[in-house]
Amino acid sequence: MSDKASGGLSEQRIILEIRHLSKTFSTDTGGEVVALSDMDLTAREGEFICILGPSGCGKTTLLRIIGGLEKATSGEVQLEGQVIDGPSPYMAMIFQEYSLYPWRTVIDNVAFGLEVRGIPRNDRYRIARQYLALIGLTGFEESRTYELSGGMRQRVAVARALAIEPRVLLMDEPFGALDAQTRNRMQFELLHIWEKTRKTVIFVTHSVDEAVFLADRIVVLTRRPGRIKEIVEVSETRPRERTAQAFIAIRRHVLDLISEESTPPSKV
């Protein structure tokens, strides 16, 4: 599997812009919690970005705002120059819980978004079969999702998201519930799919190893309120060898960044 050189990515046009984004939640007691503060980030076409940070730093909140599922308190998200003020047909989100319909067959799950958009039955089934072939599940079209393994169900979720041809794919810890062996295999498969489709991917994870394996850039957030602490470029070619010295060095650096944010500041 080949990878774009870092210079090639820098030449790609910016597809997503986050400008001065902040998010404050009101508490039941009348107080406020600042989840995100004055965040700026861009994503280029075909780029794979991973978001990391300590628990409670606002990773999922950020992803939901990008996807139009939450409103920012201030600032904005733009997709190809258009402000996102609600769910966009040009973005798809994949959750850890799969969010599949157990009463539907695999192919009906994959075709669901197309059905909602009014695509004729024959056309949506044709598109669904194309994406089932891409993720290696040809032959499982008539299976029920509860008959599949966790990894296979997550592949169905990926196929359903891709079938609507999103410009940006948002993934919120999609492999977090899988065992280590299945998780590693899904990372390989996701990179294979990404190489075929070259979608822009924004991927939230708690795993530093996963981020270094997948990402072009790793966005490390501070403790709450979440700000961008550092953006780590990963220029190593894919597939990446987890035992290589360069991989280990990047992993150690990112772990150090997160450790700094996980340790409460000392009181003077």
- Residues 196 and 213: their CA atoms lie apart, in Å, by 17
Taking every pair of Cα atoms in the chain, the longest distance, rounded to a whole number of angstroms, is: 68
- Across 189-193, 198-202, 222-226, 262-266, least confident range: 262-266
Q: Would you kindly state where each structural domain of the chain is located, as residue ranges? A: 6-90+166-262, 100-165
User: Which CATH architecture describes the domain 6-90+166-262?
Assistant: 3-Layer(aba) Sandwich (3.40)
- pLDDT at position 5 is 40
Q: Is the pLDDT of residue 1 over 50?
A: no
Q: What is the model's pTM?
A: 0.90
Which span out of 23-37, 61-75, 171-185 was modeled with the highest average pLDDT?
61-75
Q: Is 34 helix (H, G, I), strand (E, B) or coil?
A: strand
Q: Is the pLDDT of residue 9 over 80?
A: no
Averaged over 123-146, what is the pLDDT?
93
Averaged over 76-100, what is the pLDDT?
90
- pLDDT at position 2 is 38
- pLDDT at position 37 is 95
- Residues 176 and 66: their CA atoms lie apart, in Å, by 21
CB 201 within 8 A of CB 174: no
